[in-house]
A = this chain, B = another copy of it.
Amino acid sequence: MQPEYDLAALKSFFKENSSFVILSHCRPDGDAYGSAIGLGLILKDLGKKVVVHIEEGLQEHFRFLPGSSILQTPPPQAPDPCAKIILVDCSNANRPGSYFESWSRKVDLNFDHHIDNTLFATLNVVDPQASSTSEVIFRCIEKLSLPCSKEAASNFYVGLLTDTNAFCFRSFPPETFELAAKLVRLGADPEQLSVFSFRNYPLSRFYLLREVLNQTQFVEQSQIAFYILTQDMYQRTGSVPGESENFLYYLQMVNSVIVAFMLEELSPVLTRLSLRSSKNFDVRQVASKFGGGGHKQAAGARLKLGLEEAKRAVLSEIKALLR
């Protein structure tokens, strides 16, 4: 299933180098953390020097990930030149955040599963068919016969679990389930990891969800559903931005909804757009109009507009494509 890549080159890369810096994208999700920490633990167990950097560091919700102390917020200065740079779950080299640009370093290795990956690294292992970057990495680990601890397997399991929305809403083959079975055999605990991944939220998130559902709007014969997240809503409920991840799922549960989106106020002139779709509607087309990207059924962008203007612009693009 996995597309062609140079396995021998990958083997040499891990063998011949002794220091690695693993980066993943900002606004990290379960696969960003899981694939980065999982790979970090694998390399550490090989006796390598490893640091993992994610712009936000280790967020509260992901503290359960075993071995997560390997993760640090990135320093402003670039690492030692002999440390090799690996990007995981990033479709392009801008995804880690502005600190990485300031380092002015090339990317040596890139593990990813996004279809719009720009193959920016010296060595690219990209499989758009894979459920998650964790899957891409674990399949390589298997092929290279590298040892995978219970801790690393648990991280990869969380990547797989969260990027497939608990084995739902993506097209994937039986091999994805067989991979999950392998990770469980290596020690990943499906019950514990799912409780931590999906039921580990503070009460503030419940209050935020309540506000979001209360102001959700359905338009165009309920084919489009959307909500707007203001800074005020975070303050009122005592919640933080990361806690609104996956709220679009509640809108997508309505069978008439083809496109669900949300707009988040980052500043009075900057708005984050997040889009989800069903039934073959390609939300990447909408995101790309605003300079963003993603998958066919999940995409996003940042708009240099206030909330109201952004709402009008996005609704107008979606309506045009729906016709």
Chain A residues in contact with chain B, CB under 8 A? Answer: 161, 165-175, 177-178, 180-182, 184-185, 189-191, 194-195, 198-203, 205-206, 209-210, 213-214, 216, 218, 222, 250-256, 278
Contact = CB atoms under 8 A, between A and B. Distances in A.
Nearest to A184: B174
Given A206-B254, A255-B201, A168 B194 contact: yes
Given A206-B253, A213-B209, A253-B206, A171 B199 contact: no
A178 B254 CA distance: 31
A200 B255 contact: yes
B190 A168 contact: yes
A304 B222 CA distance: 40
B203 A168 contact: no
Contacts of A165: 166
Contact of A199 (B189, B194, B202, B255): B255
B202 A255 contact: yes
A288 to B, nearest CB: 24
6 closest Cβ pairs, A-B complex = A168-B194, A177-B181, A166-B166, A174-B181, A174-B184, A177-B180
24 contacts: A161-B167, A166-B168, A167-B180, A167-B190, A168-B191, A168-B194, A169-B195, A170-B190, A174-B180, A175-B181, A177-B181, A195-B278, A198-B253, A199-B252, A201-B253, A202-B255, A203-B218, A203-B222, A203-B254, A205-B253, A206-B250, A206-B253, A206-B254, A209-B213
